[in-house]
Amino acid sequence: MSNSDVPNQEPQRNDWNQEDLGKRHNNQGDKGLGFYGKIPLDSEKFDYATEYSIGVSPEELDLTSKDLKVIRKHFEWDEGASTIEIPSFVPGLSSKEFTLLKGQASNNMDKEEIPDSLMEKIKKHAKNRLIKGKSPFWEEGEKQHSPPVDQASE
């Protein structure tokens, strides 16, 4: 008997239902489990975050016309689209950056409140994936990461 045949069983990490996570902002696809899985939030409004997506313009990602051609070849991104959604919880975050983003997600704050250095790291991650024809978001089958741990507290 497979896991999917067992009634009322909690889904395993790679056996999750996309519909349970909702849609990204601007309806740009279904939310995924994210690079760090379900991240518990200290919020009355939200129990957890997975991607905490933010909208950025092609100019903010410093995309060339060649980059845009690659992206449009792989994704439904309209010629006149002003923004594309990218995740903020990306691999390589420090413990401090991860904690800051958890606070942002808990309070549903705007991207303008994310420090410039962290925003640059987030945008660089998205751009590197996009110009390779990959989604900026975690995709099923990719490695998931453990949340970063503050080295001083170990």
Q: What is the CA radius of gyration of the chain?
A: 16
Residue 97 included in any domain: yes
Distance CA 120, CA 23 (A): 25
Q: How confident is the model at residue 9 (pLDDT cuts 50, 70, 90)?
A: very low
45: in domain: yes
- pLDDT 10s digits, 105-144: 888 777 888 999 999 999 999 999 998 888 899 988 999 8
Residue 145 lies in a domain: no
CB count in 10 Å sphere of residue 5: 7
Helices 95-106 and 116-130 meet at what angle, rounded to 10? 90
> Domain for residue 132, yes or no?
yes
Q: What is the total count of domains within the chain?
A: 1
Residue 75: alpha-carbon gap to chain centroid? 16
What is the reported pLDDT for 16? 41
Report residue 73's pLDDT band, with 50, 70 and 90 as the boundaries.
Answer: confident
In a domain, 141, yes or no: no
The confidence score (pLDDT) of residue 11 equals 33
Query: What is the structure's pLDDT at 146?
Result: 92
**Domain assignment of residue 64, given as a range:** 19-136
Residue 30 lies in a domain: yes
In tens, the pLDDT along 14-68 reads 444 444 555 555 555 666 789 999 899 888 777 888 888 888 888 899 988 888 8
Residue 101 resides in a domain: yes
Alpha carbons 147 and 41: distance in angstroms, whole number? 13
pTM reported for the whole predicted model: 0.76
Task: Provide the pLDDT for residue 101.
Answer: 93
